[in-house]
Structure 1
């Protein structure tokens, strides 16, 4: 008999429930700031100040600045509060409060050649310039041209006659390229990118200086990868919106939109740090938006809390220089170029005991977040579209000891989602907790790495990497502890569609000591080993157990004591609930149930006669990963999809949910070739990802995406994509609902096109997927933990924002606590909205699933409220789904 699981709850954060000003009250004086104000006013709500800076000039410990709706083009440098009386800067709650790091550029004049120009002073370091046209990122002039998404880059390919500081390319336009920045992604194994400066040019040829010319694995020349592009020169201006800044003349050139510059707004970055807390401690920043700028604390900062920040276009740069020797923690050598820009990009949480939470961070050439120092916390954040310049700048960079990085969703990163750089951190990495993070769509501009990457020679004593999910990434592994690192304990992690391995401890002809992986689950899209210690000269004290995976679990048998590898289940069919959709918890009858061994500190919540193998204990609530903010849930559930190729070849590999299987067209790419996908049922989505694998051959040169509801009538294309990368995204304006999707090539290429996997994403969770209760975007009167809620009482509810629905049946997993006459009501769009279904709840007992038909089929996007009804305690909730 299996024992009943009791969840340990934590208080819900109802993000949408209350205005910010209600939470800003504290002892001390409160000042108001509004665009209608005056900096000589009293600062009351009736007579507010005009600038936030004027408020910060007045505040003392315990005081508050409440900021009313508006845009504030200023840099905030708050004074310190004290531990018991912080200084607070908070949005009032009457609308968005934006700290804008840009200023308007005016005085545009015709500059000839189809260009306009304005005389303006941009920041002293032109490497960090950023320009925006009509509130959208404008691309620096570049050849070859690329699309608007910097993570869908278009590259030129040098000829094989190129050498380490020379490029031959017969496709290179004849222009003056001298002085341009050349961006290189080249070599036999290009695990990082680099930049140099063009020193001379002639037709079809470039000489350049800089970059990392260590050959191999990183260099230009007759290598497997010979990719590059050019920026930073007037010669590259040929597309509307492209810009070039002549730093000597202090002149900004722009290719105007079609129809001219009149009526358009151009802004340029002037403030790198819109909120500069480098010399501040005990400050709370809540509810602010940042645009074209970022926030930082400093090495001496303490007790800073950043809550509900919404930061967009935080960092932009065009070069990847070697880090200064003063930034390095170990002796410099040229391989340290990988750490370029880690310390001067992203939202930066430095110092001791500081917190970043409940925030959305997006659009950065470098880091999403840098956490550095001791004892900082980064939790419940949504971090995406960062690191596109291709160095080791990740979603979250962790340097130092004692940090807590939990419950973050990180997706669409140039390289890793979570990373540490030993060049900057040093060899210690003690007592860090990295847990309950969802990391996906990583490695968009690199090939040798993983969503979670640790390197190198680090001592991870006391560090726990646990309860994370890694998936749908273009690297080699899900979790990668690289090059001589030891004493890392991994457990209860999950990975699928991560390439060769689930986790890899790489000794790389050196030691890999005392590394552990326990109770982890690995699924489809892993084709070499599930968990491995490889290449180690000494793997003493390592231990791999209770792992489920489709491929072997292995360890180099060196050391004293020898590594332990036991109690693992190697099976293509281990009894997962739904492997293709990443639901790697156990179904009834799985051979992993009660088949594990006891591991001290790991198998602490055993149900039944013995621990289970894998990451989820059968019969317990299903723990979840990632944040609970809007946008954190976007994957569209994979059903019985089928694909048809226009050339008649078998295209099933494109929709089998496995990134390691591949479809290849029958002939070289040509406009009009197509793939048509039948989703089996209507799905709502706003983005399609076409994964062409890690081999650059066969990536499409351009395509469109069209949809149909019946497979016969097709409208105009909803999205057009150019550029070639491992994964290319087609973004659909708004959202569309359709059963059939067609991908049609628009350009020719020298080789047949290839597709490894097609994925769909939507704005809001797919209700056909498992909606886990502890990830509800709001709730009332309910407690929850890392798995499931506490018991809901009558009138309590949890809600999921903008869930995409197409179904007739509701299934709920619950733990009843009601003697009689209780239920869960599924209501649409409000706690008192229309009732779509009623689930009876009776008795008390173990976790159970109950299914009921909906009163009518529901389609479209709705806010879902599951409301408890009864006379007292009703039930705890684990998850729900709505399916046909």
Structure 2
């Protein structure tokens, strides 16, 4: 895991020194008035050692909770937060204004964490007598990996109420997330788990596998996570035998178990609690079990308790700056505007393990977590910038509403449940996503779903200058930037992105791994000046299935492309593919659907890049791509030649770069 941001750890002060300095800074300030005062601009202070009934006017009279600041501040006020961990959900009592925002800011040099987790203690060794008691309701526990781990002295338990829904329980040891006991043991890398695949004899709702060696009935009632192609889903086991488990329902969308391609994992049985990092929670007994090779009392064990660190659902013109989040997140609401999140360091933003089938079958499974996980920016004209976000079952960032912005963020290790969540999930419209670095995601780096927002005039999105890698970790039919389905995108631009090095978990099926994927009839997109490598389908893939892929402009991309379902009459009317460099798959007959191709460098022609082996795709002086492009103002400007170049880099022009600017 990356460490906290540099600004939060360099030159760190001791708590005492920081309090003293703040007292000096605050000396001579007028006494803070009550919230209904006419004037603003007050600074309040918060410290874990403060007191909420203090004045909060200086470091020496700091409040204890950030919420106390939120209760008293009016437009123009600032809450200066001293180093420490704050276990709370901050809900502002009022909003700022455009001229006088309300600000929550980490003090200079302070390391501030707003945590959604709380410590769990009181662990005691599980004994053979405990195993016998558990076996009265689960007889398989008596002779299992769990009972062996108990005999070895490696299982501890405590009484704690973590709710009735095990699928939302999240347990940490020394700030690292543990995993629910399961088979196969996945390991502790959430984006690279050990995977088990159904055997050759599988059928609709039955998984056969010779590795299933537990006794008949052992897995009855267990939870099963399955994954195939682009579908991840959970269900329960109806019945089990040595060598097979039968699910209560077949995986949705495909409605079958695909031999050697459907992956699966089984959980919900205490008998599997026997490996490092694992836990098991019994909601009926309100008892948490953990596997540990030493006394848990020597570690910090925590459980998630709060979803939001800052709940800004009813707040506007509010800034949160330099704050760390642990096991929690931030959300704004549909009416929020002018909210700025700056320099946020977030770890474990969201967690869930339930991806059940709903009324819409496919939709409710693939879209689990897309709109309500990660940093959630709803409303209008809100932004998240300069932030470092990692580890989430769902998104890193969800952009909802309209005219919101995500810029200069580093996002990694998200969507570890492998749904249509993403590094940045873009919903609504008129959104801006630029200069982000996104790496290692379950499915897509950016998932772009265009939706109208009631009462607002729709407009195009801008997705530009992002560096995305390590996608397709847990899903296929996927891209670094994925957009679907049958939407008129109003000129949305996907440009100047670097899309490279996907990391599919399996090579059994690799269809659909591309840089930009306009799937199932997306129309009126501009896909220009993108660079990709390592993508099976190339830098761009167009799929006209659905309403057809109409009026798109695919210009000056480097890395090749795939054309899919664009050949039937009317499937690609008005779509233009100009000035690209790289092999175009599916080219034969492509123009029959109305698509126009021109001035693309033939696949057999070497473009003579500066250094393709090192991914330097600028054009050398001898490149045949020079002086060959159709001039497209605003697309391929900047060449020092008389005529623009083919591909994403204009000859002689300054080289553009992508990713967070740090």
- Counterpart contact for 1:472–1:498, Cα < 8 Å: yes
Matches within 5 A, 1:96-111: 96-111=111-126
How many angstroms apart in 1 are the aligned matches of 2:40 and 2:602?
A: 60
- C-alpha distance 197-425 of structure 1, shift in aligned 2 (>3 A): farther
| TM-fit CA distance, 1:219 | 2.8
Corresponding residue number in structure 2 for 1:318 = 353
The whole-number CA distance in structure 1 between the counterparts of 2:11 and 2:427 is 35
State the partner residue of 2:35: none
Task: Report if aligned partners of 1:429, 1:458 keep a CA contact under 8 Å in 2.
Answer: no
Shift in CA distance, 213/564, structure 1 to aligned 2, threshold 3 Å: closer
Q: Where does 1:778-789 land on structure 2 (aligned, <5 Å)?
A: none
Contact 1:486 1:515 in 2 (8 A): yes
Q: Give, in angstroms, the shift of residue 335 of structure 1.
A: 4.6
Q: 1:152 to 1:485 in 2, by over 3 A?
A: same
The match for 2:227 among 182, 185, 191 is 185
1:576 to 595, 603, 609: 609
More helix by share: 2
1:32-90 deviation line (CA, Å, top 9, x unaligned): 11122111111112221111111111111111100011111111112311221111000
Q: Is the 8 A contact 1:504 1:534 kept in 2?
A: no
Which residue of the other structure, out of 563, 566, 587, is the alignment partner of 2:598?
566
| Structure 1 residues 411-433: Cα deviation after superposition (integer angstroms, max 9, x where no partner) | 1011110113469999x984100
Q: Which of 558, 565, 568 is 1:521 aligned to?
A: 558
Q: Secondary structure at the match of 1:159?
A: coil
The match for 1:270 among 305, 308, 324 is: 305
Match in the other structure for 1:534? 566
Which residue in the other structure is 1:611 paired with? 644
Per-residue deviation, residues 233-271 of structure 1 (Å, max 9, x unmatched): 31221113311111222211111x213323122100001
Question: Residue 224 of structure 1: CA displacement?
Answer: 4.4
- The yes-or-no answer on 1:435 pairing with 2:467 is no
Counterpart check, 1:41 vs 2:73:
no
- Alignment-derived partner of residue 497 in structure 1: 534
Contact map agreement 1:509 1:537 (CA 8 A) in 2: no
User: TM-score if structure 1 supplies the norm length?
Assistant: 0.64
TM-score by length of 2: 0.84
Q: Paired residues, what number?
A: 593
Q: Quick one: structure 1 residues 466 and 19, their matched pair in 2 at CA, closer, same or farther if it must change by over 3 Å?
A: farther
When residues 543 and 498 of structure 1 are mapped into structure 2, their CA distance, relative to the original with a 3 A threshold, is same
Q: Per-residue displacement from partner, 1:325-345 (whole Å, max 9, x unpaired)?
A: 6xxxxxx34354211121232
The answer to whether the 8 Å contact 2:441/2:472 transfers is yes
Q: Does residue 405 of structure 2 align to residue 371 of structure 1?
A: no
1:183-236 residue CA offsets vs partner (Å, 9 max, x unmatched):
1124xxx22211111232233332222463444xx6315x34132111233122
Consecutive unaligned residues of structure 2, counting only runs of 5 or more, are: 1-5, 27-38, 128-146, 505-511
The one of 220, 227, 243 equivalent to 1:204 is 243
Shift of 1:15: 7.3
Which residues of 2 match residues 281-320 of structure 1 at below 5 A? 281-320=316-355
Change (3 A) 1:296 1:447: same
Write out per-residue CA displacement over residues 496-555 of structure 1, whole angstroms, 9 at most, x where no aligned residue. 111122211101265111111111111xxx6xx467773554211111111111456847
Q: CA deviation at 1:569?
A: 1.2
Residue of structure 1 in register with 2:77 after alignment:
63
C-alpha change, 1:182 and 1:422, in structure 2 (3 Å) is farther
Q: 1:537 to 1:210 in 2, by over 3 A?
A: farther
* Deviates most, 141-150 or 166-175: 166-175
Q: Distance in 2 between matches of 1:424 and 1:160?
A: 45
Partner secondary structure for residue 280 of structure 2: strand
Structure number having the greater strand percentage? 1
Q: Determine if the alignment matches structure 1 residue 556 to structure 2 residue 593.
A: no
Q: Structure 2 CA distance, aligned partners of 1:194 and 1:334? A: 9
Alignment of 1:816-855 (within 5 A): none
What do residues 295-338 of structure 1 show as CA deviations (whole Å, max 9, x unaligned)? 11111111100000000011111111246x6xxxxxx3435421
Residue of structure 1 in register with 2:475 after alignment: 446
- Given that 1:123 and 1:270 are in contact with CA atoms closer than 8 Å, whether structure 2 keeps it comes out as no
1:164 is matched with 204
Deviation at 1:600? Answer: 4.0
Answer yes or no: is 1:486 the counterpart of 2:501.
Answer: no
User: 1:144 aligned to 2:180?
Assistant: no
How do 1:8-19 and structure 2 match up within 5 A? none
Asked if the contact 1:469/1:494 (under 8 Å) is kept, the reply is yes
CA displacement at 1:588 relative to structure 2: 1.6
Question: Alpha carbons of 1:19 and 1:598: their partners in 2 closer, same or farther (altered >3 Å)?
Answer: farther
Match of 1:861 in 2: none
The answer to whether the aligner puts 1:243 opposite 2:283 as a matched pair is: no
Give per-residue Cα distances to partners, 1:855-878, cap 9 Å, x unaligned. xxxxxxxxxxxxxxxxxxxxxxxx
Distance (whole Å) between structure 2 residues aligned to residue 301 and residue 285 of structure 1? 14
Aligned-residue Cα RMSD (Å) equals 2.7
The aligned counterpart of 1:226 is 262
Please say if 1:334 is aligned against 2:338.
no
- Cα 1:18–1:145 change in 2 (3 A) is closer
Distance in 1 between the 2:198 and 2:565 partners?
A: 37
Between 1:313-322 and 1:296-305, the stretch displaced more is 313-322
Contact 1:288 1:310 survives alignment (8 Å)? yes
Aligned equivalent of 2:68, options 32, 51, 54 = 54
Shift of 1:616: 1.2
Q: What is the Cα deviation at residue 27 of structure 1? A: 5.6
| Aligned residue in 2 for 1:874 | none
CA contact (8 A) 1:510 1:535 kept: no
Could you list the per-position Cα deviations for residues 328-364 of structure 1 after superposition, in whole angstroms to 9, with x for gaps in the alignment? Answer: xxxx343542111212321111111100000011011
Structure-1 separation of matches of 2:123 and 2:117: 17
Would the alpha carbon gap of residues 179 and 456 (structure 1) be closer, same or farther in structure 2, given more than 3 Å must change?
Answer: same
3-state DSSP of counterpart to 2:237: strand
